[in-house]
Amino acid sequence: MPDREPLSEAEIQDALARLDGWTFENDAIHKTYEFDDFREAISFIVQMAFYAEEANHHPELENVYNSVTLSFTTHDAGSKVTDMDIELARTIDDALGA
């Protein structure tokens, strides 16, 4: 299981250098995915939900028509970014080909 200790900003930036499109802002990591239409965006949310539930770690998400923005932070680590956030971001990107 990934570590739930808060990462330093340097550790976060190092991890994000290996994740395409993810950014760090306001103590969370974020990525916006763009799709062809609303149906594809909702399909992505449903697929992503299975990975989040399996990890027992759930992102904040926002959907506007064809875009979905995910934000990860570990609430029981003081709402800071941990390895758990990085690992779930990587899992979702890898599994969904994003």
CA distance 40 to 20: 20
What lies within 8 Å, CB to CB, of 68 at 6+ separation is 32, 33, 35, 41, 44, 45, 48, 61, 62
- Residue-number span of the structural domain to which 80 is assigned: 9-96
pLDDT in tens, 5-60: 999 999 999 999 999 999 999 999 999 999 999 999 999 999 999 999 999 999 99
* Total domains in the fold of the chain: 1
User: Does residue 4 belong to any structural domain of this protein?
Assistant: no
User: Does residue 3 belong to any structural domain of this protein?
Assistant: no
User: Does residue 86 belong to any structural domain of this protein?
Assistant: yes
pTM above 0.85, yes or no: yes
User: Does residue 50 belong to any structural domain of this protein?
Assistant: yes
CATH number at residue 24: 3.30.1360.20
CA distance 10 to 7: 8
